[in-house]
Amino acid sequence: MKDIKNKTALVTGAGSGIGKAVAELYAELGAKVVVSDVNEAHGQEVVSQIKSAGGEAVFIKADVSDAAACEALIAGTVKQYGSLDIACNNAGIGGEANFIADMSIEGWNKVIAVNLNSVFYCMKYELQQMLKQGKGAIVNMASILGQVGFATASGYVAAKHGVVGLTQNAAIEYAAKGIRTNAVGPAFINTPLLDNMDAAAKQMLVSLHPIGRLGEANEVAELVAWLSSDKASFVNGSYYAVDGGYLSK
Q: Which residues contact 197 (CB under 8 A, 6 or more apart)?
A: 205
Q: Within its chain, how far is the Cα of 39 from the centroid?
A: 16
Give residue-wise pLDDT tens across range 26-81.
999 999 999 999 999 999 999 999 999 999 999 999 999 999 999 999 999 999 99
| Integer angstrom CA distances of residue 132 from 2, 140, 179 | 24, 21, 11
Q: Which residue among 26, 125, 156, 246 is the active-site one?
A: 156
Residue 246 is among the residues annotated as catalytic for this protein:
no
Give residue-wise pLDDT tens across range 215-236.
999 999 999 999 999 999 999 9
What is the dihedral sign for C-alpha 204, 205, 211, 216? negative
Task: Please tell me the predicted confidence (pLDDT) of residue 65.
Answer: 98
Domains parsed from the chain with CATH numbers: 2-242 (3.40.50.720)
Separation of alpha carbons 219 and 215, rounded Å: 7
Q: Are 47 and 57 contacting, i.e. CB atoms less than 8 angstroms apart?
A: yes
As to burial, measured by CB atoms within 10 angstroms (0-12 exposed, 13-18 middle, 19+ buried), residue 201 is exposed
Give residue-wise pLDDT tens across range 152-209.
999 999 999 999 999 999 999 999 999 999 999 999 999 877 777 888 989 999 999 9
